[in-house]
Structure 1
């Protein structure tokens, strides 16, 4: 497998059509067909099902393409790392994350990163975690920062830190004393009014799973796409809310409500950095991940 062979096979797999791939590669269609036949002969297996329209990969072809993409990514990352060394480690890291994560993480990590990599630019693409996943998958960002709950298993992930999800109330609730903060039995809030995130939100799915597990039936009086909105509604006395600890840290100076852990052990999830499976991290990207992880150590 040389780089030219990989390039040609990947282009055909992308176009799902030999004629269209040949046009984009600036080679003739017969020459490309001959090239594919030769590659299949060397491999000892068919790469494409030629009897289908559009062209599809065989099982062997799927393995070939997956490995070929990884090899291309390794080669590109090797070039990038050598370029980093030769050019004072310059370049750009495209980082996908929510505006809340950007506000809570980047001011603490980026000053040190800039000291270490003064010629590397960080470009953020801020959106919801589902869009962050899609942007990583489609190559629009290099790294994504998301909760590692119900995320795509086709992506590689590194845990950055553990985050507790907290119950917010404007009034005292029946509770027990905990090591860090008081905690409430989740079953005690069944039937209470809740301000919750919308159903397409990852946190909402995690909260609904806990409600279902414990037989809790909340009365949803308000739905929002914004964690800070449901937090402020809870502090106003309108309803209870469940938000990440990050939101509590950011919003406490604005209005200080009652904050409770959910259950004696608390309700936690991991926040992590995700990347494509075929992408190899550069030295600068590895360092950025270490600094983001250190934010909550």
Structure 2
């Protein structure tokens, strides 16, 4: 069955006879009759009851016509969906993002994005910043929202916001008792404090490991967690310190009642908040607009 045959058969049923359908279709009646016989031979069953007026369907014909409607509807829907995909109004956008970053931006971004693209599914792949660049390269995600320093030539890094990594200390620590909040310190000033670590895979852990290695520092480690949220809320109860992007502390202003922050002078490598995508990636409309919600002045390279 092809589209032409399906439409011809539907026209015969609608017009009530082969002769009237032939007139509407602007073909000869013998040609249309021959096509009907060919289809019936292939089906090994009659489609139409020819002695009725208007023409009617046999039981086999009822199945054929239903299938014809279904096939044409599927093709119409497919054509519309492909057009919408090409136009950038339907599809799936896979976003790689750390959990805490998702807590920060998804409530702001998703309502605006969904209002404009209700037929685009937003799929979140939650992972640490250190892993996300590779996931972009491997095409496991379309875009990644991450804290990093640009280093891979195959990727475009779209700067969303500058971020400062600070040392956060419970007010009960010796450091907080002796050094005023906001004072720039050396990482060695916290050498005798108890640290909560963020597990490997997060950008803050990279910064921490580099600092500790440079100063041969091995402070007491209480525990390691993959969640910055767990770590920052454990500081005061555990009388501990941690390295953390300051914006994550600002997201929970109640923490300033029990914690203080310090810039660390040895943190020189800038790791900021970027949207990351492949340089050779085609950006359709909804991908571009997702980026522009976070970076309004973004001008895509491709």
Q: Per the shorter chain, which TM-score range?
A: 0.5 to 0.7
Aligned CA RMSD, in angstroms, stands at: 3.1
Match of residue 179 from structure 2: 175
Match of residue 218 from structure 1: 219
Match of residue 291 from structure 2: 289
Q: Is the alpha carbon distance of 1:130 and 1:242 closer, same or farther for their aligned partners in structure 2, counting shifts above 3 Å?
A: closer
Contact kept in structure 1, 2:199 and 2:225, CA below 8 Å: yes
| Separation in structure 2 between the aligned mates of residue 150 and residue 217 of structure 1, nearest angstrom | 28
Q: Is the alpha carbon distance of 1:185 and 1:265 closer, same or farther for their aligned partners in structure 2, counting shifts above 3 Å?
A: closer
Match of residue 129 from structure 1: 129
Match of residue 188 from structure 1: 189
Task: Name the SS of the counterpart of 2:157 in structure 1.
Answer: strand
1:79-228 equivalence runs, <5 A = 83-84=83-84, 89-149=89-149, 152-171=152-171, 172-175=176-179, 181-213=182-214, 216-228=217-229
| Separation in structure 1 between the aligned mates of residue 279 and residue 273 of structure 2, nearest angstrom | 18
Gap runs ≥5 in structure 2? 1-81, 297-302
Q: Is the alpha carbon distance of 1:219 and 1:88 closer, same or farther for their aligned partners in structure 2, counting shifts above 3 Å?
A: closer
Output one character per residue of 1:141-179: Cα deviation in whole Å (capped at 9) or x when no partner: 2111111237544322211111222222222244357xx
Contact kept in structure 2, 1:160 and 1:289, CA below 8 Å: no
Match of residue 279 from structure 2: 277
TM-score by length of 2: 0.59
How far apart are 1:84 and its partner, in Å? 4.9
| Separation in structure 1 between the aligned mates of residue 281 and residue 262 of structure 2, nearest angstrom | 38
TM-score by length of 1: 0.60
Contact kept in structure 2, 1:175 and 1:185, CA below 8 Å: no
Q: Is the alpha carbon distance of 1:130 and 1:183 closer, same or farther for their aligned partners in structure 2, counting shifts above 3 Å?
A: closer
| Separation in structure 2 between the aligned mates of residue 253 and residue 161 of structure 1, nearest angstrom | 23
| Separation in structure 1 between the aligned mates of residue 244 and residue 108 of structure 2, nearest angstrom | 22
| Separation in structure 1 between the aligned mates of residue 142 and residue 213 of structure 2, nearest angstrom | 36
Contact kept in structure 1, 2:249 and 2:255, CA below 8 Å: no
1:15-34 equivalence runs, <5 A = none
Gap runs ≥5 in structure 1? 1-81
Match of residue 47 from structure 1: none
| Separation in structure 1 between the aligned mates of residue 139 and residue 100 of structure 2, nearest angstrom | 22
Q: Larger Cα Rg: Structure 1 or Structure 2?
A: 2
How far apart are 1:279 and its partner, in Å? 0.6
| Separation in structure 1 between the aligned mates of residue 95 and residue 273 of structure 2, nearest angstrom | 15
Larger CA deviation: 100-109 vs 264-273: 264-273
Task: Name the SS of the counterpart of 2:290 in structure 1.
Answer: helix
Output one character per residue of 1:152-209: Cα deviation in whole Å (capped at 9) or x when no partner: 44322211111222222222244357xxx44434331123221112345432121222
How far apart are 1:134 and its partner, in Å? 3.1
